[in-house]
Amino acid sequence: MKPTTVIFTSKHIPSFLAPILIIFLLFTSSIAIAQESVLKEKTAKIQELLSTVEANKLTFNQELTTISPGYYDYTVREVNSKGNEVATTYSFALSDINTNAVRSFTKRDVFLIELTVKGKQKLIKRITDEGNKIAYIPSFTLYGLNADNGRDLENAIEDAIPEAIEVDKKTLVLNSYEEHLQWLKNNIGNVNLPKHEIVQQLNTDTKRPGLVILERTLGSKKERFEFNLSLLNPNSVNYKISGDEFLIEMGTKKDIAGIKFYSDDVLKGYTDKVLFYANSLANGKNIHKVLKGVAPLAKTEFDFSKPDITTVENALKYINDNIDGIESDGRTTVQNLVLEDYMATFSQKETVSDKNEEHLYFFNLTDINENGISFKDKKTRLYLVLNTNKGAYYIGHSLNGETEDYEKQLFLYFNSYDEAIIGKEAFQFLIEHFKNQVTERAEEPATSLEEALSLLSNEIKPIQSTNLQYEQQIELLETETSTFRFTKIESSSKKTIENVFEFSAQDLNKQNSKVKVSGKRVWAEIGIKSSEKLVKVYEDGEVQNYENRIEIEAPSIENAKSIVAILKRLAASQNK
């Protein structure tokens, strides 16, 4: 088999480089031919040294046949005293043999030369029973006529291995993504084994760069894998040999379950590995080599084809175009994201049989951790997980119009991994975009008592929850001491409690003031310096113990943030 020489042009290579590339390929091709010639000479020497070996009870007839440069069939026929013959053939690539593990030794009445594959991988195909039995093994032995002949064989094999390695490197030369992909389509095919046949075919989706579909039939069972080659990890390619089956296994980057798996045309779920069957040792080694080379090229191809998501409009459009109408796990999920500046409303309507659910989520995009977006799968569902910064429960949630507890994460469902990965990047762009806008807005300056009172009066509002109602009011009691009075009346169907808190703005602690969430409740917790109990408290007009904080109820996370921000500004003005 002559080395493959490829001449091509590609949209990724400037036209002026094409002639240089052609010259380089022709040059490397001539080198490959010369190396093949040297390997042929060294192979001929090995063949000359192989001879018929007569032992006490058996005679060993040996033959080494070149299948293609560097690939050989070694057949040994054992003939007993009655003339009965047993033939065994070993198919192997000389480049796989570990030079340092070639050894000669005696065993009873024969002199043996053992060849072992690097890493003791099972890359030697052993064929017995007239081709009806196949197994893959890590080593085999040749027979020496005597000690001198055996040592000569050992030396000849060791001498030929480096040349075989160089020939192997240049036997299959592919450069572009298109060439790798075409080779895989042409060479991943049917496999005929002694007891069964495997039908397999690799197809591509021209509309989605990098996406391939591997279809396979094993007996009456049909399998299909759909995945983007850019998802695969080139360092994960390995041989997976079982019995007479020669397979090449490849996994995904970071073991992400992004490979769709169908059985008999029914989506069964997502997996992180895919297997390819080889019809010969050479075919398997080449599939291994091409898979390792295609993944990085597919990543470049995939990245090159990505839509522009560098504007809010484009990023939002991409997300909504690819999350609307997801069919999986026996349900239909219709999703939509609406933005008003950095505030997001995400709707998710799910239909399962006769049951309908409508989820609404409300959140500030800058509260989402852009580096914490991850991929998950469950049964036949693939989704992105959006987590809040520091796991804060900052995502409002309602189900069928009823308020639910605040959440710290939400799920966005997609039909495929390649759509989900661009969706992730679109979300990261949106988060970064609005974070930059917030950063550009200079921190608001300290505020006066009167301005703070006005701002707080606008933000502190009555709250209606499921079982409780709050009436809230803040007033400035005394300017000289910066004293405020905050009144909170808590009402239920059974009773009403009035709580009054009197505190000085001079005692407020910026660092200890924050937004707090518990279940459906959200409030602004305002702390006092050194957590001292300096807040005077009354309950229904009765003096209570002093406290070290004030809790102001809020209807939303953003409202609570605003209250905290105003009081921090007030604290700054009082502590200059």
- Name residues whose C-beta falls within 8 Å of residue 527's C-beta, 6 or more positions apart in sequence: 508, 509, 511, 512, 513, 514, 548, 549
CB 20 within 8 A of CB 27: no
Q: What is the pTM of this model?
A: 0.82
pLDDT tens digit sequence for 452-474: 999 999 999 999 987 899 999 99
Neighbour-count burial for 106-126, b at 16+ CB within 10 Å, e otherwise = eeeebbbbebbbeeebbbbbb
Strand pairing of 381-387 and 469-478? Answer: unpaired
Round to whole Å and give the CA distance between 333 and 378. 14
* Low pLDDT (below 70) residues in the chain: 1-32, 439-443, 576
Q: What DSSP state is assigned to residue 255?
A: G
Which residue, among 378, 368, 380, 384, has the nearest Cα to 418 in the 3D structure?
384
Q: Which amino acid is at 193?
A: L
In sign, the C-alpha dihedral spanning 390, 395, 399, 402 is: positive
Q: Which amino acid is at 50?
A: L
Strand pairing of 381-387 and 374-378? Answer: antiparallel
What pLDDT does residue 1 have? 39
What pLDDT does residue 7 have? 36
| Residue matched to tokens 């998710």 | 348
Which residue, among 383, 390, 431, 382, has the nearest Cα to 408 in the 3D structure?
390
What pLDDT does residue 9 have? 38
In this structure, what are the phi and psi dihedrals at residue 363, rounded to the nearest 5 degrees? -160, 160
Half-sphere exposure of 30 (CA within 13 A, CB side): 5
Round to whole Å and give the CA distance between 391 and 219. 50
CB 142 within 8 A of CB 155: no
- Cα–Cα distances (Å) from 180 to 10, 174, 191, 284, 307, in that order, read 13, 6, 21, 15, 24
What pLDDT does residue 353 have? 81
What pLDDT does residue 477 have? 95
pLDDT tens digit sequence for 51-76: 999 999 999 999 999 999 999 999 99
DSSP for 350-394 reads EEETTEEEEEEEEEEGGGB-GGG-EEEEETTEEEEEEEBGGG---
What pLDDT does residue 471 have? 97
| Residue matched to tokens 């991929």 | 375
